[in-house]
Amino acid sequence: PLFWLILVGGTGNIIPLLMVFFILISIGCGYFLVFLNPKTLVIIGIIGTVFGLAIGIHDLSNDNSILNNSINKLIVGQKEIFKNEKKYN
| Extents of the domains making up the chain | 2-88
**Residue 48 CA: distances (Å) to CA of 17, 57, 88:** 14, 14, 48
Q: CB-based contacts of 50: which residues, under 8 Å, 6+ apart?
A: none
Q: CB-based contacts of 46: which residues, under 8 Å, 6+ apart?
A: none
Answer yes or no: is pLDDT of 11 > 70. Answer: no
Answer yes or no: is pLDDT of 2 > 60. Answer: no
Residue type, 10: G
CA–CA separation, 85 vs 77, rounded Å? 12
Which pLDDT score is estimated for 79?
74
> What is the pTM assigned to this prediction?
0.30
